[in-house]
Chains A and B, each alone.
Chain A
Amino acid sequence: EIVLTQSPDFQSVTPKEKVTITCRASQSIGSSLHWYQQKPDQSPKLLIKSASQSVSGVPSRFSGSGSGTDFTLTINSLEAEDAAAYYCHQSGSLPLTFGGGTKVEIK
């Protein structure tokens, strides 16, 4: 099973700050890594697919990078509406797995 280790677990950030969340895979998964945002009491929402591909309707301040085992989600110029939990997810091999999540709080 591929284990995804996200960091940090929690981040408190002021608006307009840059946020960086990392996800490390226990073995190489190429670019089969995707990012989701989940706001309280809502279903998750796809933010970035295949490590770095943008998703229609997602603000351009969200971007992803990386390949192999190390991946990054970047939120440029954080907005209040970005308060949420963020999860990485790998589809490189079964079982499908997720990172433990990063909760982003707005100061």
Chain B
Amino acid sequence: EVQLVESGGGLVQPGRSLRLSCTVSGFTFGDYTMSWFRQAPGKGLEWVGFIRSNTYGGTTEYAASVKGRFTISRDDSKSVAYVQMNSLKTEDTAVYYCTRYRGYIDYWGQGTLVTVSS
């Protein structure tokens, strides 16, 4: 059974940092691009960024709204994806989803809530 489990969410003050983790099981993690999406309370879905598999260089792409502040990484030996979120803003408040990305998203985690507030 495929599982993606996010962790690390919580309440953080504006300007501070937070790192989310996504622990994967049920498929060969290293073979896939992993992507992060988010959903602000009561709003629609927004792409955050993704990291390609090492077969494709392990390179990253980001949405303009987070570029320069967020960094996505992966540890294939542990089957974990990360997103390091720096200089957080109130508008980053959202449920963050870790996903397996194949041009479409075929597996989603349950999401972890990040609240940026003073």
Contact = CB atoms under 8 A, between A and B. Distances in A.
A95 B64 contact: yes
Contacts of A32: 103
B63 A95 contact: yes
Contacts of B57: none
Contacts of A66: none
A98 B47 CA distance: 8
Contacts of B103: 32, 34, 49-50, 91
Contacts of A91: 103-104
A76 B69 CA distance: 44
B2 to A, nearest CB: 12
A32 to B, nearest CB: 7
B39 to A, nearest CB: 9
B106 to A, nearest CB: 5
A14 to B, nearest CB: 26
A94 B110 CA distance: 25
Contact of B104 (A89, A97, A100): A89
Given A43-B97, A95-B64, A87 B104 contact: no
A87 B45 contact: yes
B26 interface: no
A45 interface: yes
Interface residues on A, range: 20 to 34
Nearest to B50: A96
Interface string B19-39: 000000000000000010000
B76 interface: no
A32 B47 CA distance: 16
B108 A94 contact: no
Nearest to B35: A96
Contacts of B109: 43
B91 interface: no
Contacts of A3: none
Interface of B: 35, 44-47, 61, 63-64, 97, 103-106, 108-111
